[in-house]
Amino acid sequence: MALVPYDDRDGWIWWDGEFVPWRSAQLHVLSHGLHYASAVFEGERCYSGHIFKLRAHTERLIASARILGFEIPWTAEQIDAACTETVRRNGFTDAYVRPIAWRGAEEMGVAAQHTKVHLAIATWEWGAYFGVEQRMKGVNLAMAKWRRPHPETAPTASKAAGLYMIGTMSKHAAMDQGADDALMLDWKGDVAEATGANIFFNMGGELHTPTPICFLDGITRRTVMGLAKQHQVKVVERTIAESEMKDANEVFLAGTAAEVTPVRQIGDLTFTPGKLTETLMRDYEALVRLSPEEVARRGA
């Protein structure tokens, strides 16, 4: 099946307050964000016409930009409205939404105080991140060579574009080995996350997940933790050594793109998706299709 390039599609992209035809949404090659990674973004999913936890994503986008030292010149309310209208303008009810903010081309070099900050929002129909069949039987994770950096060496609390390069490199290496994705350790050698999703382990009926000290505390991560607690499942956030993974009887990933995806293998370790994973998958799939008001009422 031939891929449709992302720069050659029909539709509309919201760009600095206006809708432009998809193919016309282009930036200059000397944009600061391209050369120095001064860009932040979000990944959101729209289900049944509602963007799941839109305000939480928008607030994180604004916070990520501030961590990188720039202010997005639109309010959270304006960004929310733009995301919603972008989905509507493109005629979607189920879609992926990508807001991105970056520094422009007014200044070149490491310093960027005089650049203009831009914001664009695109949306497209995107199914299961790992494919439906692969997701249901569980994904295979290789061990990444690259590690998530110490929070004093990189802006790890932001969803910054530059932080994903080692994720790309790790995922490519994993796919070259025949795996679906890679598990990344932190700078200490403890378990961190996959290249674009958080990880959970069922250990003795408790749900264990690494403390997000050098990677994003994902919105889907927090949602899944809330769902688990509603089932009276104890959730433990802690440092998890690589050697402890063998003690888990279920493992799954959680992220906006990945949603809740079982893991069947990490390196030489194998796991069988079980009842807890299935329950949280089902609960999450039901939750995201509720109205924002109902999601808020349920407190998940």
The set of catalytic residues is 159
SS3 257: coil
| DSSP structure class, residue 249 | S
The helix or strand, by DSSP H or E, that contains position 199, with its residue range, turns out to be strand 198-203
SS3 90: coil
Contact 213, 221 (CB under 8 A): no
Question: By 3-state DSSP, what share of the chain in percent is helix, strand and coil, each rounded to 5?
Answer: 30, 30, 40
Buried residues in 101-136 as b, exposed as e (16+ CB within 10 A): bbbbbeeeeeebeebebbbbbbbeeeeebbeeeebe
Q: How far apart (Å, rounded) are the C-alpha atoms in residues 259 and 200?
A: 13
Helices (H), the chain: 32-36, 54-67, 76-89, 132-137, 165-176, 219-230, 275-287, 292-298
Q: Identify which of 282, 278, 288 has the alpha carbon closest to the alpha carbon of residue 252.
A: 278
Q: How far apart (Å, rounded) are the C-alpha atoms in residues 251 and 130?
A: 16
